[in-house]
Amino acid sequence: MKKKLAVLSAKPAHYGFTLNFIHRDSLKSPFNNSNHSPYARIHTSIARSIARANRLATHSQRFGLESNSDGLKSQILSNDGEYLMNVSIGSPPFPLLAIADTGSDLIWTQCKPCSDCYEQRAPIFDPGQSSTYRPVSCSAPECTTDASGFQPSCDEVDRCQYSVQYGDRSSSEGTVATETFTIGSSSGGESVNFPDVAFGCGFENQGTFSSAGSGIVGLGGGSSSLIGQLDKSIGGKFSYCLVTLSSKGTKSSEISFGKNAVVNGDDVVSTPLVTKDPPTFYYLTLEAITVGEESIPFTDGSEFGETKEKGNIIIDYGTTLTVLPADFYSSVVAEVEKQVDGSRADDPSGQLSFCYDAEGFKAPEMVMNFEGADVKLRDYNAWVMVADDVVCFAFRAANLGIYGNLAQMNFLVGYDKEARSVSFKPADCANHD
């Protein structure tokens, strides 16, 4: 029996729904390479993480990301997201499996007629077959830089056009339109119908996009992202629970919105969300990292030494590793090395430099001291097995701070844009209800 579609109202946090959040290397993902061993999947995930962090660092101004006078450009790779989500667009609903990315605001998919597009294994959306597809005019509020996060242009019939260039020179160009988005709930609830969501219908898309994907759903903090457009309907709330890489269960990670995304309980800690430019990214303030009993204050390596700058680290589930400014990273590694019990080893892939023989290895306790929130890491949040006998530190040095997804696994992580906070609650995400 077909599920009835609920019609969305604009009441704050009126709706709550939960979706499977599919890791791109899981067996449920079309990106999965069945010929890869578990360690090969980890190596490719780390490689994507390093590339993503390097791109962000290249275009950073201290710990914020720069924009330019020609409008914002996405400074992430076109194909480096780690998690996928199912949505449908149009009437009747047309299914998409897209990269869900907190490092991007723009929502886009390939559209027919595709004049210059990359190969896509799944069917391509045909706006001509949808009764709810509406191109946005150049005078519409959606066709402004503030609303869209990019510099829009006009075609000869007054339709708003977008063009986005990614850090690896991949690009997507097409028409800005509004469409009905349908999001099904994996928590047993009805599917929810969201009318008039602005998105990019891409007719020219070239670069390193994978044929397995159908586009990008931006979940960033900007007004044009899915979070921004559904803001009133979901009360500005979303949360996720990421299963560990070693999980043997069949349950996927999950992402929740609205009333399903509330994180509460005695063991919840919360830290402020910091407003910075560009608004795409979710900025937190990391005050220190505690290793055992030793606290290492945050420093960005500048002439000012220890800095108390608000918003010095981005929380991003699209990056596998946690990335720290080089001087701070060195201080943390020096303290960890003092306290770790084990023999040094080499990463067979050469990607990570601070590794140990897994046999007899014992790691010190680590706590991320965010402003107002001390988040205690388990060993698998701070260390990653890269071979049967080698374990490596899941942190890396760069020119900015990123709190990556390994550090967030088995935590219920909740974002509340209205309260301007991010909350953490320890959880068993493979068995989380």
- Does residue 345 sit in the same domain as residue 221? no
Residue range of the domain that includes 285: 263-426
49 vs 257: which has the higher pLDDT: 257
Q: Considering only 36-45, 280-289, 300-309, which range has the smallest mean pLDDT?
A: 300-309
Q: Please give the torsion angle defined by the CA atoms of residues 253, 228, 381 and 385, in that order, rounded to the nearest 10 degrees.
A: 60
pLDDT at site 54: 66
- Does residue 232 sit in the same domain as residue 168? yes
Give 356: exposed, middle or buried? Use CB within 10 Å, 0-12, 13-18, 19+.
buried
- Does residue 251 sit in the same domain as residue 103? yes
pLDDT at site 248: 64
Summarize the confidence of residues 149-176 as an average pLDDT. 85
Specify whether 116 is catalytic: no
188 vs 64: which has the higher pLDDT: 188
| pLDDT greater than 60 at residue 420 | yes
Domain presence at residue 342: yes
Instruction: Summarize pLDDT for 251-268 with one digit per residue, the tens.
Output: 789 999 999 999 999 999
Domain presence at residue 10: no
pLDDT at site 213: 78
Domain presence at residue 324: yes
Choosing from 101, 105, 300, 416, the catalytic residue is 101
Domain presence at residue 68: no
| pLDDT greater than 60 at residue 306 | no
pLDDT at site 10: 37
9 vs 183: which has the higher pLDDT: 183
Instruction: Summarize pLDDT for 66-96 with one digit per residue, the tens.
Output: 322 222 222 333 445 678 888 999 999 999 9
pLDDT at site 99: 87
| pLDDT greater than 70 at residue 128 | yes
Domain presence at residue 71: no
| pLDDT greater than 70 at residue 279 | yes
Cα–Cα distance measured from residue 245 to residue 407, given in angstroms and rounded to the nearest whole number: 11
Segments of 75-227 assigned E as strands = 83-89, 94-101, 108-110, 116-117, 134-135, 153-154, 160-165, 171-183, 192-206, 215-218
Domain presence at residue 42: no
Domain presence at residue 5: no
For residue 293, what pLDDT band results from cuts at 50, 70 and 90? very high
- Does residue 122 sit in the same domain as residue 225? yes
Cα–Cα distance measured from residue 212 to residue 106, given in angstroms and rounded to the nearest whole number: 19
- Does residue 275 sit in the same domain as residue 249? no
Note the pTM of the prediction, 2 decimals. 0.88
Instruction: Summarize pLDDT for 187-235 with one digit per residue, the tens.
Output: 556 788 899 999 999 999 988 787 887 888 999 999 999 999 998 899 9
Cα–Cα distance measured from residue 119 to residue 126, given in angstroms and rounded to the nearest whole number: 15
| pLDDT greater than 70 at residue 144 | yes
Provide the 8-state DSSP code for 251.
P
Give the whole-number percent of the chain exceeding pLDDT 70.
81
Provide the 8-state DSSP code for 137.
B
Segment of 17-21, 31-35, 98-102, 424-428 carrying the highest mean pLDDT: 424-428
- Does residue 188 sit in the same domain as residue 319? no
pLDDT at site 180: 97
pLDDT at site 139: 92
Summarize the confidence of residues 356-374 as an average pLDDT. 97
For 146, 231, 324, the CA distances from 315, given in Å and listed in that order, are: 23, 19, 12
> Final residue of a domain: which of 255, 283, 313?
255
Number of domains forming the structure of the chain = 2
Which residues make Cβ contacts (< 8 Å) with residue 128, sequence separation at least 6?
Answer: 112
- Does residue 298 sit in the same domain as residue 329? yes
For residue 4, what pLDDT band results from cuts at 50, 70 and 90? very low
Cα–Cα distance measured from residue 43 to residue 245, given in angstroms and rounded to the nearest whole number: 12
- Does residue 277 sit in the same domain as residue 225? no
pLDDT at site 45: 79
Instruction: Summarize pLDDT for 381-415 with one digit per residue, the tens.
Output: 999 999 999 999 999 998 889 999 999 999 999 99
> Final residue of a domain: which of 236, 255, 274?
255
Cα–Cα distance measured from residue 198 to residue 224, given in angstroms and rounded to the nearest whole number: 7
- Does residue 154 sit in the same domain as residue 286? no
Cα–Cα distance measured from residue 283 to residue 64, given in angstroms and rounded to the nearest whole number: 9
- Does residue 250 sit in the same domain as residue 299? no
CATH number of the domain that 419 lies in? 2.40.70.10
> Final residue of a domain: which of 230, 255, 280?
255
For residue 56, what pLDDT band results from cuts at 50, 70 and 90? low
Cα–Cα distance measured from residue 137 to residue 45, given in angstroms and rounded to the nearest whole number: 40
Choosing from 25, 105, 300, 316, the catalytic residue is 316
Specify whether 277 is catalytic: no
| pLDDT greater than 60 at residue 325 | yes
Domain presence at residue 205: yes
- Does residue 161 sit in the same domain as residue 112? yes
Q: What is the mean pLDDT of the chain?
A: 84
| pLDDT greater than 50 at residue 8 | no
- Does residue 113 sit in the same domain as residue 250? yes
Q: Which letter, b or e, does each residue of 18-30 get, where b requires 16 or more Cβ atoms within 10 Å of its Cβ? A: bbbbbbbbbeebe
